[in-house]
Amino acid sequence: MDVLNITGYLRRIPHVVAEHKGFFTRENLQVRFHETTYAPDHNKGMAEWRWDFTLSKRRHHDRAHEHRRRRLHAFHAGRKRG
């Protein structure tokens, strides 16, 4: 049986359903999900090839980036020029 190591912040519904229905077992795969809660640990693990792939959400990263961009914009807008 092949072992597939995956990581993410949350298990996705398709993954849970596939596991429940035995799709992985049928394909002779053992899937090990490693939950990550801290982005630097996640990124370091990916760089070290600790996992075969990640289930992290791109949307989460986009939302975090947008939040930082808005805070920076608000900071600059509030500064006095002169």
Q: How many domains does the chain have?
A: 1
Tell me, what's the pLDDT at 79? 54
Q: Say whether 81 sits in a helix, a strand or coil.
A: coil
Provide the residue range defining the domain that includes 33. Answer: 2-78
Please name the residue that has the structure tokens 């072992």. Answer: 3
HEC profile for 40-78?
HHHHHHHHCCCCCEECCCHHHHHHHHHHHHHHHHHHHHH
Tokens of 36: 């990550």
Tokens of 62: 């986009």
Q: Tell me the pLDDT band of 81, cut-offs 50, 70 and 90.
A: low
Least confident span in 8-12, 17-21, 33-37, 78-82: 78-82
pTM for the full model? 0.59
Tell me, what's the pLDDT at 58? 54
Tokens of 3: 């072992």
Give the pLDDT confidence of 31-80 residue by residue, as tens digits.
998 888 877 888 888 888 888 888 766 554 555 555 555 655 555 555 55
Q: Say whether 1 sits in a helix, a strand or coil.
A: coil
